[in-house]
Amino acid sequence: MTTYHSKPDVVQRKWYIVDANDLILGRLATRIATVLRGKHKPIFSPHFDTGDFIIVINAEKVKLTGKKESNKMYFRHTGYPGGGKFTSVAEMRTKHPERIIEHAVKGMLPRGPLGRQQLRKLKVYAGTEHPHQAQCPAPLPL
């Protein structure tokens, strides 16, 4: 028996939509990362992108458990000496709520060019409106 390797012409990508209203961030991010990588398909190959597109709406209404809303901090660096910046989840939710989900999913994808290619298939929107109606997205079973 030979090992199956996916090819670009075999992969059929679907579009899924997820309403993040009252969903827990970590559980949502693991399901999204699995679909973005394509691990839910029988043709999955770890070295090739076989995943689907995901649209997340209502990103500002995602829930966090415990005291993460006030204690969890996101770190970024400006590139200058002493340029470390910390942002809390509450502040991030008011300024850029879509980045909360993007950051959680990015940490669950592989590092390198393959992970960046898979992350580009994630579309996150703070409200209920999105410009992808033409793709006829189906609801993602969670």
Is 84 domain-assigned?
no
Q: How high is the mean pLDDT of the chain? A: 95
Is 101 domain-assigned?
yes
Q: Is the pLDDT of residue 1 over 80?
A: no
pLDDT > 70 in the chain, percent: 100
The pTM of the full predicted model, rounded to 2 decimals, is 0.93
- pLDDT tens per residue across span 75-97: 999 999 999 999 999 999 999 99
CATH code of 37's domain: 3.90.1180.10
**Structure tokens, 140:** 């993602």
Question: Looking at residue 6, what is its pLDDT?
Answer: 81
Is 75 domain-assigned?
no
- pLDDT tens per residue across span 104-124: 999 999 999 999 999 999 999
Is 130 domain-assigned?
yes
Is 47 domain-assigned?
yes
Is 114 domain-assigned?
yes
Please enumerate in sequence order all residues whose Cβ is within 8 A of that of 130, keeping only pairs 6 or more positions apart, or say none: 17, 55, 57, 123
Strands 73-77 and 53-57, by their bridges, are unpaired
Q: Into how many domains does the chain fold? A: 1
What range does the domain containing 28 cover? 15-64+95-139
